[in-house]
Structures are given as structure tokens and as C-alpha cells.
Homo-oligomer: A and B are copies of this chain.
Amino acid sequence: MDLTRLLSPKRVAVVGASPKPGKVGEIVTRQLVEAGFEVYPVHPKETVIHGRKVLSRVEDLPDGVDLAVVTLGAQRAVPAAVAAADRGIPFVVVVAGGFREAGGADLEAELVGELRKRGTRLLGPNTLGLMDARSGLDTLFVQHVRFDGTGPGRIAFISQSGSVGTEATALASWGGLELASFIGLGNKSDLSELDFLEHYASREDVDTIMLYLETVSGGRPFLEAARRAALTKPVVVLKAGRSGSAAKAVASHTGSLAGSYRVLGGAFRQFGLVQATSDEEMMDMANALALAPVPRGNKVGIFTPAGGFGVMAVDETEQEGAWPKMVMARPSQTTQKAIKEASFPFVATGNPVDLTASVTVDMYAQSLKIFASDPDVDILVAGIFFSPAGLGEPTAPAMADAARWVVDELGKPVVMFVFDGERTFDRTRYFHSRGLPAYPSVRRAVRAARALVERSEFLRRHGS
């Protein structure tokens, strides 16, 4: 279905708008006004909020309002949402909790039923809200999130959890997640991941979809929607509530039954979903899929100035039982000789390439290019740490230049791991800004690389 008026509205009503700093109705109004939307605050007594004339009743709203964000408590939210539907508003977001997840199943059924009769679609209730970099829409009421959408964000995140949503949007707001759009599904009593999968699959400014789900809408319909999306772009999913007690916790927390993971989990792979096992892994994989090209195969080159990191990277690459299988590339004698000539005769060149702590920046950048050019290398996992004497401040740009050359000229992905003490996060952010996925741990980098190989295998199976 067409979600344009929900995600790129022109006229937005805030029912429950408030002048009181920190209140949800205040935060939402302010953000909408600052982003330049036509905002219509609704409040029975106020006259002006954030410079906008307040309407005392929903019934007074003008024609053509695209979206109503209802920030009232559960009991008052229902008649307000129905009034918005009566005014012909096609989309309503109900923020309040206190519905099915907290003993209010009847109230939720009433809300959904009345809106459905009127042809109005509902996001929520019990939702963190939504945000979209393309339109500037941001109804999130989590105060410390200031997502400006200026990064190279091309990830859309559909989340059934407000807390994981908060984590992701916070990470995005300081440059750690390349987010373009976010949907908090809340209780998803009407609009669900099925609708948003379809929407994001068709959007050109989104090239990776990330999903956090505790319950799955419909089983088979979900898998089919996910596959349709996966044929156009990578879809990473974290299905939480896998264990028995977790499924019970999901029931108590969302008011829904968690899907049977045993049945679903096996199907995910078959339907082309890249499956994450934790929130961090989900975001790591999505960053790699959003930033790096898909490799031609599963042969990994590992490149590092530090033996220990190289050994750990090989352990992760060849980890038993990990899927899809990745193998160590075998660089030719010519490649190995060229690396030694570009650096030192004593360095290890057999893969992992270990240039040792004696390396200089130029040697490092040059050897990276030589290694990546070997025909047996499909994907490069390259590490860097800033302690060796030769690897100081100019290292990051030089490494990024070399890695970009590998991506742009050879079309091969480069996934980086980076250590620089307390500056580590700033370093990963720098590499992100150069379009290179970067991680503060060897394991996380290799797992992100595996997501790229998985995507490559899916595309090969489907003839792309």
C-alpha cells in the first residue's frame, strides 16, 4: 500500500500537543515545526504552541491533513483517533501504551475496529514513533536522539521494540549506524512489518532493510513479503523471543504470541533473509550491506599489521559450523613477492598478511592494494591499529584511500577492524564517512563480512 502520506506528509496534526518542555506532545510538535511541516497542534485550552495556532478540537482541523500523531493517554487517545479518522485523515499514530500489552485488549480492539471502518490506517498503539530522513519527519519522543540524516544513511529499520529502536536511533545520531528511516511498530495492530517491507523495497533512497521482530505477522505472508524485498535489497532480521521463556516474555510485553522460532528460523535463510542473533550483530551486518559492494565469492583475504589480530580473524573466518562457509584466499607467489617488495622481506604474506608493527603508512596502503588485486581474493578484511610507531595520524586517510581504491577500481568489498583506544569509535565513524564499514573488533568485522558473502550467495541462487 502507498505509505507516502504517512512517511512524507505535508500537513500533520498533533493531538495532545503541549507547551510543557519534555512532554511527548511538546517534543513531537517542536520537531515537526522545526522540520518545516504544516503543523496543527490540538489542545482544548492552549492558543499557541511553538508558534503555531492551536485548534481546540480535532473536528476543527482543516482538510487535507495527511497524518495525526496522537500523544494522549490510552483512554483519551481512542476517541481522538476516531475523530481524526472522521476528519478524513488517512494515517494515525497512537503513541500511548496501556493497550493489549497491559490488559487493555478491548480498548485496542475498539481503536482498530473504529479506524478500519473509516478507512484510516493506524501505526501503533504503544509505538516509539517514526522518523524519515528524506522528508525530515521525526515523531520520536526520546529526548537525546538528534538524528539529522546527514550521513550516508541508506538503512531503513522496522522495529517491534521501542528500546531497540532507541538504541539504533541513538547510534545513528552519533554516526554509528547508517540510518535513513525508522518505524516503531509498537503493538502493530494494523500496519505491520508486511506494509513497511513493501514500502522500503520500493524506495530508491533505501538500500538495506533491518528488522527487529518479537512476533511475526502471519508466518508465510511475512516470509513472502521478506523474499520480495530481499530480491531488491538486503534484509537483515533479528527474531527475538527464540527461547521458551522469552516467548512468554514477549506475550506479556507485546500482548502477542511469539512465532515458533524452530519453524521460522530455518525458513529465514531459504527466503533470503540475513539472520542476526543479537541487536549489535544486526546493526553491524546492516552497515556492511549498506556500505560495501557484494563480493563475487567467499574467499577472504585478511590484512593486518598485528599477528594476534590476524590469527583471531582466521579463527572467525574458518569458524566451524558458521554459515555461509568462508575460506581463506590463497594469494599467488607473484602477489606475495610484490607485497614483500613493497614492505619488508620478513613479513608474512600467505594470508593473513601480517605486515608487523614495523610497517609504515605507505607500505600499508600499497600492500593492501597489491593483496586485494590478487584474483583469488573476493573480500578483504583489513585491520588497523594506531600504536605501531609508523602508523600515526596520517594512517586513517591513507588506509581509507587505499580501501576506496579497492572498492572503486576492483569492485571488491573491504571490511575494516580498527583499534585506537578511546578514539576507536571516532575512527570507525571516519571510515563510515568514507563509505567503508568499520568495527571495533575482529569478530564483528568478520561476521559483517559473512553477511556480505551470504548476500552474494543469495543473489547467485536467484540469478542476479
Contact = CB atoms under 8 A, between A and B. Distances in A.
Interface in A286-312: 304, 306-312
Contacts of A254: 307
A441 B144 contact: no
A236 B263 CA distance: 37
A50 to B, nearest CB: 19
Contacts of A246: 311-312, 314-315, 318
Given A163-B309, A170-B419, 12 more contacts: A97-B356, A98-B346, A163-B304, A163-B307, A166-B419, A167-B385, A243-B315, A246-B311, A253-B307, A253-B311, A278-B443, A279-B441
A242 interface: yes
Contact of A354 (B174, B252, B350): B252
Nearest to A328: B245
Given A166-B419, A346-B102, A421-B173, A144 B387 contact: yes
A113 interface: no
Interface residues of A, number: 77
A241 B101 CA distance: 48
A142 B250 CA distance: 48
A166 B385 contact: yes
Interface in A39-58: none
B311 A249 contact: yes
B312 A279 contact: yes
How many copies of this chain sit in the oligomeric assembly? Answer: 2
Contact of A306 (B103, B163, B318): B163
A216 interface: no
A162 interface: yes
Contacts of A308: 159-164, 212, 214, 240, 253
29 contacts: A97-B357, A101-B307, A102-B356, A144-B386, A145-B421, A159-B308, A161-B309, A162-B308, A162-B357, A163-B306, A164-B308, A166-B419, A170-B419, A171-B421, A173-B421, A214-B311, A240-B308, A241-B314, A243-B318, A244-B318, A245-B317, A245-B328, A246-B311, A246-B312, A246-B314, A249-B354, A252-B348, A253-B311, A279-B442
B163 A249 contact: no
A150 interface: no
Give 5 closest A-B pairs by Cβ, nearest first: A161-B308, A163-B306, A243-B318, A253-B307, A246-B314
Contacts of A245: 314, 317-318, 328, 351
A352 interface: yes
A319 interface: yes
Contacts of A441: 278-280
A442 B320 CA distance: 24
A143 interface: yes
Interface string A243-271: 11110111011100000000000000000
Contacts of A101: 307
A23 to B, nearest CB: 9
A1 interface: no
A312 B278 contact: yes
A243 B389 contact: no
Interface string A355-391: 0111000000000000000000000000001110100
A219 interface: no
A422 interface: yes
A62 interface: no
B97 A314 contact: no
Interface in A203-262: 212, 214, 240-246, 248-250, 252-254
Given A421-B173, A441-B279, A442-B278, A315 B242 contact: yes
B422 A314 contact: no
A396 B134 CA distance: 36
A214 B356 CA distance: 16
Nearest to A240: B311
A443 B173 CA distance: 23
Nearest to A312: B240
A312 B102 CA distance: 20
A22 interface: yes
